[in-house]
Structure 1
Amino acid sequence: MNNPLRYPLSKDYQVRFEDLRIVADGLVRPECVLALSNGRIVAANGGGGYSIVEPDGGVRHVIVCTNTGRKYLPNGIALAKSGQVLFADLGVSIGGIFSISPDGKLGTVVTELDGEPLPPSNFVVNDKDGRLWFTISTRLRPRTAAWNHEVADGYIAVADEKGVRIVADGVGYTNEIAFSPDGEWLYVNETYNQKTSRFPLRPDGTVGAKELVAAYDGADIPDGLTFDAHGGAWITCIASNRLIVLRPDGEKQVVLEDTDEDHAELVARKLRDKTLSQQDMSTAGRSRLQNISSLAFGGPFLKTAYLGCLLGTCIRAFDNPVPGLAPIHWDRNVA
């Protein structure tokens, strides 16, 4: 257990937009970013696949080859032991978890639960025991019907040798999940409920009762969730385009922001009024961060922070004084 009194990040720590550097451009909706120990970066590709960023900045795209006519929207991505990239399909009406081989061949991982097709799927991650965890934000169609504080019908599910099952239900627009450094908690962003919550994590892959970790207001809409090695949770917020650290003692610290205040005010009001629309969230206003949606630690000593985004074409990065927690895929490579 990390001692919150010894958390090494200075409370004065700030990152300016001018401190960011572009490490890759020419991407398509790089919502989720993975960093690997060999210096590669893997990003979701909204065109239906993934993109690989080489250490020298070169970019290569792998797009799903299919003749079914179905279009796939990779949202969260993960890297399996086999080297195949897994993705959660944020489709219009149905979703699922799929794999992509280097030649673009699509593989089915999970498409049904209890005999029903998976709704549009948000995020996917492996754990150290080989289980696959994924999130469904809402059962409602369209998904925008759940963009408020009242709907909480999302869930977290697990797939392993025992099958596929829901382990936590009634979550408010379930988004990214992450395991705490001590392995005792599963954290989740409840995006349009504007909360970060956590569940006690049991060895058998089940969880206990949900606890509130942090609540947000205004246009702070939590999307990405990544831990550093000392127990701080780094939260990327769409709409406000702020990066918030939840320190181990519970304090919230804004370390980066590039907010269009007029747009943020509009989003906050419509979120409260239950009138927030796809059109409202299809712009970041004048923010240059373009709705930062994820953060991945990588680089030397895991002290480089890479930012994914929903609306832009690039991955930005900054050097961080606190190292990230090494992810399960850290020493893997894309096949």
Structure 2
Amino acid sequence: MDRPKALVPLRYVAIGGRGPEDVVVDRRGRVLTGVEDGRILALDGLADPARSRVEVIAETGGRPLGLEVLPDGDLLVCDAHRGLVRIHLEDGTVRVLADSAAGEPLRFCSNVVALSDGTLYFTVSSRRHPFEQWIGDIVEHTGTGRLLRLAPGADAPEVLLDGLQFANGLAPAQDESFLVVAETGARRLSRYWLTGPRSGRAEPFLEDLPGMPDNLWREGPEGPIWVALAGPHVPALDLLHRAAPPVRRAAARLAVRAPYRPAAMAGVLAVDDDGRIRRHLVRHRSGFRMSTSACVAGGRLVLGSVWEHGIAVCELPDGTG
């Protein structure tokens, strides 16, 4: 992998709420995000600070995380408290599509994608720790993340993969032959085959990442997959993950009680369908911390963060977009 390039920030846009964990682009070119009080926000005019505006377009009644805009304009939301929901943005109606899987409540629904046949795939980050204690799962290394599928017309989702290390972002291949799944706790991307002779199998796609991958966003059918890096590689955490389970559980109990402040860095990768890193952008000593999502809007790279009270608008390097 080549040396990383500088991530160049252009401006910070306050949004009147904390924790815009995921950012996506709708059909009108607006950036959509969800904040910790349950509101879904639409951000417009980000290319011109004088014209930037924020509008509340819906409320989930929970804690929205991963988002996916559907072809008809509706919005899918992975809500950490309510499960997988669908929002009709014309009137703000919220409909729960799934709140349990395999007889268990969906306590930490994380990210979702919709394929062209209407099938929905989504992740559950942890079956042991709720969203508010996410750091406990990262420290304990529980391996209780899941990939699920909700077929058109189905009443309940099907578990496709279990044992993932903090399953997070999802993105489809250009031809929808596989899904890329971010495993934050393992610093890797995994591939789950949807078609062909390996259908139903999972394998490594890109390992030993330079940071912890969070949300994924596909930039159009022929664009790269943008991978947000929520934090740097922490060698001490690698050592802890090799410790015995009782040691990891004790460390997790301490971690969820201790004050937490993310590292002063923001980073993203752009990855192609062959698992090659095409861009690695990073900013150290960054004022914008814990970049949990990235998308491209108006010729700019937009970052979300579960930690911040706004989004970052950054320069989009040549060769992308």
Q: Name the TM-score class by shorter chain.
A: 0.7 to 0.9
Task: Identify the residue that residue 320 of structure 1 maps to in structure 2.
Answer: 317
Q: 1:279 to 1:192 in 2, by over 3 A?
A: farther
Q: Is residue 2:185 matched to residue 1:192?
A: yes
- The secondary structure found in structure 2 opposite 1:211 is strand
Letter in 1 for 2:152: E
| Matches of 2:59 and 2:162, distance apart in 1 | 31
177-186 or 224-233, larger mean C-alpha shift: 224-233
Give, in whole Å, the separation in 2 of the partners of 1:214 and 1:283: 26
Q: Which digits, 9 at most, give the CA deviation of each residue in 1:243-282, with x for residues without a partner? A: xxxxxxxxxxxxxxxxxxxxx6776776676325245684
Who is 2:294 aligned against? 295
Q: Is the 8 A contact 2:25 2:69 kept in 1?
A: no
CA distance in 2, matches of 1:105, 1:228: 28
The answer as to whether partners of 2:149 and 2:158 remain within 8 angstroms in 1 is yes
Residues of 2 paired with 1:33 and 1:110: CA distance? Answer: 22
1:30 equivalent in structure 2: 20
Per mean C-alpha deviation after superposition, the further-off stretch among 27-36 and 269-278 is 269-278
Judged with a 3 Å threshold, the aligned counterparts in structure 2 of structure 1 residues 78 and 141 are, in CA distance, closer, same or farther, namely same
Amino acid paired to 1:188: V
2:272 aligns with none
Aligned to 1:181: 174
1:124 to 112, 126, 143: 112
Residues 279 and 127 from structure 1, CA distance in 2 versus in 1: closer, same or farther, beyond 3 angstroms?
Answer: farther
Range that drifts further, 194-203 or 117-126: 194-203
- Alignment of 1:15 with 2:6, yes or no, is yes
2:18 partner letter = V
Shift of 1:176: 0.4
Q: 1:268 to 1:282 in 2, by over 3 A?
A: farther
Cα RMSD for the two superposed structures? 3.3
Question: SS state of the match for residue 147, structure 1?
Answer: helix
User: How far apart, in 1, do the equivalents of 2:10 and 2:63 lie?
Assistant: 27
> Is 2:168–2:214's contact at 8 Å kept on the other side of the alignment?
yes
After superposition, the C-alpha distances for 1:111-139 in whole angstroms (9 at most, x for unaligned) are: 12244322321111211221111101121
Normalised by the size of structure 1, how large is the TM-score? 0.71
Q: Which amino acid is the alignment partner of residue 196 of structure 1?
A: L
Counterpart among 14, 26, 44 of residue 54 in structure 1 = 44
Amino acid in structure 1 at the alignment position of 2:297:
G
Which residue of structure 1 lines up, in the alignment, with residue 277 of structure 2?
A: none
Q: Does 1:310 align with 2:306?
A: yes
Relative distance call for 1:184 and 1:155 in structure 2 (3 A) is same
SS state at 1:146 partner: helix
Match of residue 255 from structure 1:
none
TM-score (normalised: structure 2): 0.74
- For residues 113 and 190 of structure 2, what CA distance do their matches in structure 1 show? 17
Structure 2 distance, partners of 1:88, 1:45, is 12
2:147 paired with 1:152: no
Counterpart of 1:246 in structure 2 is none
SS of residue in 1 equivalent to 2:40: strand
Question: How far apart are the structure 2 equivalents of 1:107 and 1:52?
Answer: 20
Q: How far apart are residue 321 of structure 1 and its match?
A: 1.7
Task: Extract unaligned runs of 5+ from structure 2.
Answer: 46-50, 265-285
Offset at residue 42 of structure 1 (A): 0.6
**Counterpart contact for 1:24–1:53, Cα < 8 Å:** no
Per-residue deviation, 1:23: 4.8
Paired positions, count? 279
Q: CA deviation at 1:24?
A: 5.3
Alignment identity in percent? 22
Letter in structure 1 aligned against 2:319:
V
State whether structure 2 residue 226 is matched by structure 1 residue 238.
no
Alpha-carbon separation, structure 1, partners of 2:70 and 2:205: 31
Tell me if the contact between 1:239 and 1:281 (Cα under 8 Å) persists in the aligned partners.
Answer: no
